[in-house]
Amino acid sequence: MQWVVSDMGARARHWYVLLAVGALASASGCRAAEKAPAAHEAQAPAAPAARGPMPTFRVEPARLESTLRLPAELVADRTVDVYAKVNSYVKDLRVDIGRAVRKGDLLVQLEAPEIEAQLASAKARWRALEATHVASKATYERTLRTSSTEGAVARDAIDQAKAKEQADAAQVLAAKATYDELAAMKSYLVVRAPFDGIVTERNVELGAYVGPSGKGSNKPMLVVQSVDKMRVVVSVQEAYVPYVRVGDTLQFSVRTLPGRMFSARIARKAGALDAALRAERIEADIENGDRALLPLMVADARVALASPAPTMIIPRTALVESGMGTYVLRVREGKANRIPVSKGARVGDKIEVFGELGAGDVLVLKTTEEMQDGMPVAGG
């Protein structure tokens, strides 16, 4: 009997252990089920958070106007390097540097004895061939008159007389052409001023041997410049080329004339960019009656820039440049949307942009990369 009681106690303790293990397993399963939805919620993407009121503005088309300061150079309206056309010697030098000359004035008298000899020989040959032609022409005419009597002259004799007269006439023309060529070469020995101007450089002396460039003279005999009108040369960077037009006025000053401001009208544009500077050459004309301006002076030029047509001008704070591109944020129906744009000219805190923007569009004034596309925006 005592054994039976002891066996029942052992069985009771066994059931108590099984019940405790089952209760612990049930509690663990409940806790795992509660944690699973929480983990799922943590992995879901968060929607763009709404921001508080932020400043916006309405964009309207306008013209961007500013002044561009660039270094410039003054050059003479016309410049000529005077070389000798033929190899010769300086016989008479009529001018020196600083001398004002008029078109056609004698500058240098050259001499080339061989040209004189060749010219005399060519003239003598020309005259001799003329005499020969006179004789052959008379023979032909006489033969032609004689042929009027039937059988007096053979037809072949007439043809030969005519051919001889024509050959002699051709030789006369060739001799005259040779003479004219040498006469033209002789005329090059007299060097005259090509236009009104000033002699700004002299590189020869009396008796000096001169010739064409590279064949007798490394430097020109004289340099003549027209300085009554000057050219202001400016190189305008590629970004500003569309805003500079022929007919516009630029202002400039030079260090040697402090306190004076000059105005010049833009007369020419190169129409192409310089390969080295990636800039376009612009030239403006200015009258220089008092000759206060000198060639090769360095000037400080101010070029007025204006958009050729109204464009979209925005504050620079409204533009974002990042790895995702260049864009602005346009506000519509309470949301900000990224609008890709390209940049134009920039003046101060304003910049010209081009893109799918219309007059009256509302943009975020202070845009940052952290602002997401499609985020809610409350106007401020």
Q: What is the pLDDT of residues 20-47, one digit of tens each?
A: 444 444 444 444 434 444 444 444 445 5
Render pLDDT for 163-181 as a digit per residue (tens, 0 to 9).
988 999 999 999 999 999 9
The larger pLDDT score, comparing residue 6 to residue 247, is at: 247
Query: Which CATH number characterizes residue 253's domain?
Result: 2.40.30.170
Residues 87 and 188 reside in one and the same domain: yes
Give 142's pLDDT tier (boundaries 50, 70, 90): confident
Tell whether 276 is covered by a domain.
yes
Residues 372 and 352 reside in one and the same domain: yes
Mean pLDDT of 54-64: 87
Q: Is 203 a residue whose pLDDT tops 50?
A: yes
The whole-number pLDDT of residue 10 equals 45
Domain hosting residue 318, numbered range: 53-62+310-379
The whole-number pLDDT of residue 102 equals 96
Give the whole-angstrom CA distance, residue 211 versus residue 85: 6
The larger pLDDT score, comparing residue 16 to residue 338, is at: 338
Treating both helix axes as pointing N-terminal to C-terminal, what angle do 113-146 and 155-187 enclose, rounded to 10 degrees? 160
Residues 188 and 87 reside in one and the same domain: yes
The larger pLDDT score, comparing residue 296 to residue 348, is at: 296
Residues 288 and 316 reside in one and the same domain: no
Residues 159 and 240 reside in one and the same domain: no
Q: Is 379 a residue whose pLDDT tops 50?
A: yes
Amino acid making up residue 159: D
Give the whole-angstrom CA distance, residue 72 versus residue 284: 10
Contact 136, 164 (CB under 8 A): yes
The whole-number pLDDT of residue 40 equals 42
Residues 326 and 282 reside in one and the same domain: no
Residues 240 and 179 reside in one and the same domain: no
Contact 344, 326 (CB under 8 A): no
Q: Is 362 a residue whose pLDDT tops 60?
A: yes
Give 48's pLDDT tier (boundaries 50, 70, 90): low
The whole-number pLDDT of residue 26 equals 46
Q: Return the half-sphere exposure (C-beta side, CA atoms, 13 A cut-off) of residue 24.
A: 6
Q: Residue with structure tokens 């879901």?
A: 44
Mean pLDDT of 129-141: 90
The whole-number pLDDT of residue 52 equals 58
Residues 6+ apart with CB under 8 A from 353: 311, 312, 313, 314, 319, 328, 341, 342, 343, 344
Percent of the chain with pLDDT over 90: 52
Q: Work out how many domains the chain is built from and give that number.
A: 4
The whole-number pLDDT of residue 18 equals 43
Window from 103-117, 205-219, 300-314, 329-343 with minimum mean pLDDT: 205-219
Structure tokens, 53? 């009121």
Give 191's pLDDT tier (boundaries 50, 70, 90): very high
The whole-number pLDDT of residue 288 equals 95
Mean pLDDT of 339-346: 88
Contact 309, 352 (CB under 8 A): no
Tell whether 328 is covered by a domain.
yes
The whole-number pLDDT of residue 69 equals 92
Residues 94 and 58 reside in one and the same domain: no
Tell whether 197 is covered by a domain.
no
Tell whether 91 is covered by a domain.
yes
Mean pLDDT of 375-380: 72
Structure tokens, 211? 């010739």
Render pLDDT for 75-132 as a digit per residue (tens, 0 to 9).
999 999 999 988 899 999 999 999 999 999 999 999 998 898 999 999 999 999 999 9
Residues 101 and 139 reside in one and the same domain: yes
Residue at which a domain ends, from 192, 208, 241:
192
Tell whether 329 is covered by a domain.
yes
Tell whether 77 is covered by a domain.
no
Nearest to 332 by CA among 302, 307, 359, 363: 363
The whole-number pLDDT of residue 172 equals 93
What rounded mean pLDDT belongs to the chain? 83
Q: Is 50 a residue whose pLDDT tops 60?
A: no
The whole-number pLDDT of residue 214 equals 62
Give the whole-angstrom CA distance, residue 352 versus residue 208: 63
Contact 210, 81 (CB under 8 A): no
The larger pLDDT score, comparing residue 77 to residue 345, is at: 77
Q: Put residue 367 in one of left, alpha, beta given phi > 0 → left and psi -120 to 50 → alpha.
A: beta
Residues 288 and 236 reside in one and the same domain: yes
Residues 243 and 151 reside in one and the same domain: no
Contact 215, 117 (CB under 8 A): no
Mean pLDDT of 262-271: 95
Residues 188 and 106 reside in one and the same domain: yes
Window from 153-157, 282-286, 343-347 with minimum mean pLDDT: 153-157
